[in-house]
Structure 1
Amino acid sequence: MAQPSFADALVIQGQKDQEASEKAIRQAKRANAWMVVYRIMVAIAVLLIGSAITIATVYIGREYHNDSQNKAIAARDEEIARNYSKAQKNALLQAARDYNKRLFENPRAIGAIVDPFTNKPGSFNGNDDKEYHHILNAPGDTMAVLTIPKISVKLPIHHGADQDQLENGLGHLPGTSFPVGGKNTRAVITGHSGLPGKTLFTNLPDLRKGDLFFVTVAGETLAYKVKWIEVVLPTNTKVLRIKPGKDLVTLLTCTPYGINTHRLLVTGERTKWPLYTAAPALSPSVDEIIMYTAATILALWILLLIFHRRYVLGHHIRRYYGKPWNLRKPVRSWKHEESVVNPIAAGMPHVATPALNDDQ
């Protein structure tokens, strides 16, 4: 078989060099693209990890607060179950009902002139009513427990509605009925919205007409269906008055969120227990939150390792083959140290060299 001539060998070598140069350009472009993607992924991963840690911190804080509230509820229920007979429980309820009857016949001022959300001088703690704090006085100054399944609320209700009560649960507004049910009653339960690390009444605006909430007092649970939702000025206390013949409970919080210039009133009317009631959605435990956060960080870390491998590979490709936007530089081979010039990038026309005869 005839050996190729010197000219043919030059042509073949030129074609190989061109193919190698084009391959290097493609690899360098891919490497550069991977490096850009890697840097973007690093930025996104840092942002997501920071967000995961922040969110986990908030939820853990809320969970610890909810745990403290649940402990207060458990202590109250345990104390009542251990120390109060059925007759004593009935006596607790009867004292509250008698108070409500007198309140309907001789209405008192609702709270004080200044409401508890403004931090101005004044008090809603009912200290001027000596009888008030002795009624439904269970351990921890807890008179009842409010449960709102739709927004996962289960919190103790304390006597009074000043800052001390509202920082640690819900408050009962003095001058309104005790939440023990019965005609000609209207209990007003107050709670903060938007406190850092505490849910409380933050999600109260999510309630709609027809939603249910429950009040548990002295071992009895009363059901209420939301009937009215109103937004009023803080000074408008007339809307909190008892409606004759009605058994009402009003939930009160500040609104709009973060501005607090008005008051949101969600009023429920006593209803029969439904055949089926959705259980309160359970908040994730601290262990679950930590587990989810760790899983998120681990997944992001694995992605970073994968992209880091690509990044290192791209770095070596760029090192040996050069940058795709600087193709006039000599292209270095991984296996050979000699430089190969891209004839097209250098402006050299690629034409086939005419074959030469052996005589020439």
Structure 2
Amino acid sequence: MKKYNVHRSRARNAISWVLSLIMIVAGIALVASFFLAGRLDSTATNSDDPGGFNVPKLETTREENTSNAGPEDKTLELTVPAMSRIENDDVPYTTGTDEEALKTNAAIHLEGTGFPWDSEANVYIAGHRLGYPNTESWLTFWDLSNVGVGDDIYVTDANGTRYTYSVFKTFVVSPSDTHVTDTRPGKNIVTLQSCTLPDYKERLVVQGELTETTEKAA
């Protein structure tokens, strides 16, 4: 009987320990969900501008740097297979302070940077990590960190010409580093940018080089 009571006592202790552990885990999950919900209801970063979006501020315009070739409609279409939410998304050509464009699109093509049809260009595209709930910007560049060297990035112009870029570099810079918009001599590259996690204080940058141009079939 004594041995039986010992076993019962051990069983009760084990059950109590398991229940306590479950309650602790549930409490942590509840607190985490509270803070996560608060963060997801906010805008994408903690910067000072209205959209919380840090993009390079360029002192020169595209007209001073590149040709005016290409379609009249400068809107691009972006597909990144390594990113779950970026497929055939429209990317307007506008400034980094165009809050309406940032809310209503997956990303923006930064005004003052080049185009895929230019012989030498840096096609600079920026998107939110979090963005705005219930808009096209919501979580679009959340998984930018999944993109790695060798991955493809597809950019299509308004005429249907598709430009294939191969990623050659990923790195992190501060919001003040405007050199990421620079061109590379004789090359056409694309740059994807979003904020770093978890504090959004810096910029995650992915760059790819143009490897193939495919005209739309007649």
Instruction: Classify the TM-score, shorter chain.
Output: 0.5 to 0.7
Q: Which of 225, 233, 256 is 2:166 aligned to?
A: 225
Q: Which of 162, 183, 198 is 2:119 aligned to?
A: 183
1:47 counterpart = 2:34: no
Q: Deviations over 1:197-228 (max 9, x none)?
A: 63222332343322211113333322101123
* Matches for 1:84-103 after TM superposition, within 5 Å: none
158-167 or 30-39: bigger deviation: 30-39
Q: Aligned partners of 1:30 and 1:235: how far apart in 2?
A: 62
Q: Which of 199, 215, 240 is 2:139 aligned to?
A: 199
Instruction: Give the conservation status (yes or no) of the 8 Å contact 2:196–2:204.
Output: yes
Kindly indicate which of the two structures has a greater share of residues assigned to strand. Answer: 2
Instruction: Give the conservation status (yes or no) of the 8 Å contact 1:124–1:174.
Output: no
Residue of structure 2 equivalent to 1:234: 175
Residue of structure 2 equivalent to 1:267: 207
Structure 2 spans left out of the alignment, 5+ residues: 41-46, 214-218
Question: What TM-score results when the alignment is normalised by the length of structure 2?
Answer: 0.61
Residue of structure 1 equivalent to 2:111: 174
Which of the pair has more CA radius of gyration?
A: 1
Shift of 1:171: 0.9
Q: Aligned partners of 2:179 and 2:56: how far apart in 1?
A: 16
Q: Aligned partners of 1:237 and 1:229: how far apart in 2?
A: 16
2:184 alignment partner, SS class: coil
* Matches for 1:61-210 after TM superposition, within 5 Å: 118-119=48-49, 135-136=72-73, 143-154=75-86, 155-160=89-94, 161-162=96-97, 163-168=99-104, 169-178=106-115, 180-195=116-131, 198-210=138-150
Kindly indicate which of the two structures has a greater share of residues assigned to helix. Answer: 1
Question: What TM-score results when the alignment is normalised by the length of structure 1?
Answer: 0.40
Shift of 1:189: 0.5
**Identity fraction in percent:** 27
Shift of 1:135: 3.9
Residue of structure 1 equivalent to 2:44: none
Q: Aligned partners of 1:237 and 1:125: how far apart in 2?
A: 7
Shift of 1:124: 8.9
Matched residues, number: 181
1:33 alignment partner, SS class: helix
Cα gap change, 1:228 to 1:23, in 2 (>3 Å): closer
Q: Aligned partners of 1:23 and 1:229: how far apart in 2?
A: 64
Q: Aligned partners of 2:2 and 2:206: how far apart in 1?
A: 72
Shift of 1:270: 0.7
